[in-house]
Amino acid sequence: MTTLAGGGLLLFFLLCAIALILSLIVSEMAAAILIGWGGAICSILLMLAGAARLAGGQDYYQPLWMVHGVGQLSLRIDALSAVFLFAAGLVYLSCCLFAPGRMMHSRNRYPARRYSLLHFALMISVAVILTAGDALTFLISWECMSILTYLLVNHGQEEQTDPPAGYIMLAMSEAGFLAVVIAFLIAASGAAGLSFSALHESSVQLSAGAEWGIFILSLFGFGVKCGLVPVNFWLPRCYTASPAVFVPVLAGVTLNLGFYGILRMNGDLIPLHGIGPGLFALVTGSITALVGILYATTENDLKTMLAHSSIENAGIIVAGIGAFLAFRSSAIAVPAAIALTAALYHTVNHSLYKTLLFESAGEIESAVGTRDMDQMGGLIRALPGISIVFLAGCLAISAAPPFNGFVSEWLTLQTFLRSALLSSALVKVVFALCGAILALTAALAITCFVRTYAMSFLGIRRGDWRFTVAGLSRRARASMILLAVACLLLGILPTYAIGVLNRAVEPLAGASATAALVPPFFTANGSNGQLPAAFLQDFHNLGAQTGAHVLPGRGLVLLLRGLEQNPVVFAMSPSYGVAAVAVFVLVAYVVVGWLTRRRAAASGELWAGGIPRLFPEMTYTATGFSNPVRVVFQAIFRPNIVEDARDTVAVHFRTAIRRKRDETHLVDRIFLEPIGTAFGGFARFLAGMHHGLLSAYVSYALVFLLAILFLYRLT
């Protein structure tokens, strides 16, 4: 399996290099085909490399070059790399199937040859980031990824903003990159080289202050890429401005690199000893999740709403990583394993359903010419295929069973309940508050995506747009179906997914998540050191062993059980749940059909409150649906009303109310505006010093010289 992983990776790099050369010489049409077929093959090879390592159990190591003063440059595939490689390959496979049809439909906006060149170069840089075995290779490939991402964001950009969104993203990426470089320099201060193994071995010599410095720099340096508060102000703007063919890659691949960097640095290379960093990440992630979903719930632009939702999911993942770090530093291994499993599970889940939603949003925008949900409605009749896959994505991201988002968010919240094992009362309070924030976030996520689907696809059409799409290509349809099926499978078969993720979890957490979460109901002897035999027998009597002679694995039940002093059991089984619901629906269908088969169905004109028909302007809009959230959380949004007009008939009867709001984002208001005001004031002070008086300039030089002499005297 190790040879298979290495061979797949080597073949991936070879085919990508060939594709780069072909992108320079083929026609525009051939370049689009190259992205479709060549990109799909390269994506499958990435998945193969990751799957082979997860199945084989041994790391793949490939030395590259020896650099004087730095050490050995190398590539390495361990279990953590394999998880992200497989997820990146799956998302890239879907994007490569989706992109050619969209590029041919909009050939003038998206030059295929240039996009193909950047596309394959980005694939190489992503693969090198996830397989780098030393800091120098990692940093070089990270910088290449940032530049290529900037070029792809601006590729065929329709909306030129001032300054363009790509420049803001690039500036933030460079700031994050500098923070990461400083973190690596601190980590390498006492190491024999820049290899990851050397950094890990020397981490025991780091002081508590150095660990905190590395953690803060890496958290926010990598957090720029995944959208953590307060370094996420670029993300909604950039996602909205990105081409429809690239934004799924931005949300499903490059976003995950931030999580990978945080875990690689703080979970693997520099094992943190205090509980403080874990709590800091936990609080930061929880606040990020709440802020992201609040703005997603009130946003009417479909792509911008999905971008804010990415911030919310990034917060959930980082909160899970924070819980993992906190439990591990407290030497509580099993909850640490569960927390890391939840974080990795949600990372994969978010990649799949967010890619699905962004691809669907691109097709919707192409069909109706707008992203404003207030102007949509009735799309289910015009785009029935898109409506089905978009509904699957909405259910998955809303954490509705039986889709995958439910499993990972359930595991995350259950992890927070394990905080009862911690000794500090203050730490328990922090976990409880963060758990409450994430529970509120989950409720708002349901509100957000019920609003999104209902206002966009249901009801009657609003606005004066016309459909301009002839239909989805087979490849684009296959892309979306692939993602929807993957979301469903990860939702109904979580016990198998946890067993795979455990290959990456166990070395970092020091405990098996599979042993803690998946009781061995399908095994012959039913033995598990963490669960009493009588307890297992009770679940056997309830039918938990159903399917033991048909299905492989340990079982189909996820179960968390407390200790003897608190033996509370939390259990679920999406697999059995789906089967039960299917049986109930079938029985209800048969019974209702039998009861009504002899009754003739009556039809008549729809009653609409006494009016001839329901006009579009009378229907509920996305703004109206989200208005209660705006009112309840007005202290956070703090809008400025720039227009408030009411049209009336005979004074007493209102026919229309128009209200325009000008909102400043919370991050801008709390962080950016004060910083900008301070720098502006300092700049005005310096400008005031330039008044042309020679005597004043001589005085400045004299004061500066005296200050230098005074400081020198003190030292």
Q: What's the confidence (pLDDT) of residue 162?
A: 44
Residue 696 lies in a domain: yes
Residue 675 lies in a domain: yes
Residue 650 lies in a domain: yes
Residue 337 lies in a domain: no
Residue ranges making up the domain that contains 637: 616-662
- Whole-angstrom distance, CA of residue 575 vs CA of residue 568: 22
- SS3 string, 466-485, reads CCCCCCCCHHHHHHHHHHHH
For the four alpha carbons of 363, 368, 370 and 374, in that order, the dihedral sign comes to: negative
Q: What's the confidence (pLDDT) of residue 692?
A: 66
Residues 642 and 673 in one domain: no
Neighbours of 182 (CB within 10 A): 15
Q: Give residue-wise pLDDT tens across range 386-396.
A: 899 999 999 99
- Residue 420 burial (CB < 10 Å; 0-12/13-18/19+)? middle
Q: What's the confidence (pLDDT) of residue 715?
A: 63
Q: Give residue-wise pLDDT tens across range 651-660.
A: 555 555 666 6
Is the Cβ–Cβ distance between 231 and 223 less than 8 Å? yes
What are the backbone dihedrals phi and psi of residue 63, each rounded to the nearest 5 degrees, phi first? -70, 145
| Residues forming a β-bridge with 75 | 62, 132
**Out of 332-341, 351-360, 557-566, which region has the weakest mean confidence (pLDDT)?**
557-566
Backbone φ/ψ region at 561: left (φ over 0), alpha (ψ -120 to 50), beta: beta
Q: What's the confidence (pLDDT) of residue 629?
A: 75
- Whole-angstrom distance, CA of residue 151 vs CA of residue 110: 12
Confidence category of residue 159, pLDDT binned at 50, 70, 90: very low
Neighbours of 15 (CB within 10 A): 17
Question: Which two three-digit tokens encode residue 610?
Answer: 């006494």
Residue 709 lies in a domain: yes
Residue 265 lies in a domain: no
- Whole-angstrom distance, CA of residue 444 vs CA of residue 397: 11
Residue 676 has pLDDT above 90, yes or no: no
Residues 671 and 710 in one domain: yes
The single residue listed with the structure tokens 């001839």 is 612
Q: Give residue-wise pLDDT tens across range 298-313.
A: 888 899 999 999 999 9
Q: Give residue-wise pLDDT tens across range 136-151.
A: 999 999 999 999 999 8
Question: Which two three-digit tokens encode residue 524?
Answer: 């012959």
- Whole-angstrom distance, CA of residue 327 vs CA of residue 337: 9
Is the Cβ–Cβ distance between 357 and 327 less than 8 Å? no
Q: Give residue-wise pLDDT tens across range 14-39.
A: 999 999 999 888 888 888 888 888 99
Q: Give the Å distances, CA to CA, from 15 to 38, 125, 180.
A: 8, 14, 31
Residues 657 and 644 in one domain: yes
Residue 345 has pLDDT above 90, yes or no: yes
Is the Cβ–Cβ distance between 193 and 230 less than 8 Å? no
Residues in the chain: 715
Confidence category of residue 536, pLDDT binned at 50, 70, 90: confident
Q: What's the confidence (pLDDT) of residue 100?
A: 81
Residue 40 lies in a domain: no
Confidence category of residue 347, pLDDT binned at 50, 70, 90: very high
Average of pLDDT values for 64-72?
Answer: 79
Residues 6+ away with beta carbon under 8 Å from 168? 233, 234, 237, 238
Question: Which two three-digit tokens encode residue 406?
Answer: 């439910």
- Whole-angstrom distance, CA of residue 359 vs CA of residue 244: 7
Q: What's the confidence (pLDDT) of residue 490?
A: 94
Residues 657 and 633 in one domain: yes
Q: Which of 95-109, 295-309, 528-542 shows the highest mean pLDDT?
A: 295-309
Residue 614 has pLDDT above 70, yes or no: no
Helix (H, G, I), strand (E, B) or coil at 573: coil
> Distance from CA of residue 597 to its chain's centroid?
49
Question: Which two three-digit tokens encode residue 172?
Answer: 């933030």
Q: At what angle do helices 425-457 and 276-298 cross, to 10 degrees?
A: 20
Residue type, 482: L
Torsion of CA 315, 316, 320, 326, to 10 degrees: 50
Mean pLDDT of the chain: 84
Residue 244 has pLDDT above 70, yes or no: yes
- Residue 157 burial (CB < 10 Å; 0-12/13-18/19+)? middle
Long-range contacts of 250-253 (CB under 8 A, 24+ apart): 250/149, 250/152, 250/153, 251/306, 251/307, 251/310, 251/351, 251/354, 251/355, 251/358, 252/91, 252/94, 252/95, 252/350, 252/351, 252/352, 252/354, 252/355, 252/358, 253/88, 253/91, 253/92, 253/126, 253/351
Q: How many domains does the chain have?
A: 2
The single residue listed with the structure tokens 């939840």 is 342
Residues 627 and 654 in one domain: yes
Residue 637 lies in a domain: yes
Residues 654 and 623 in one domain: yes
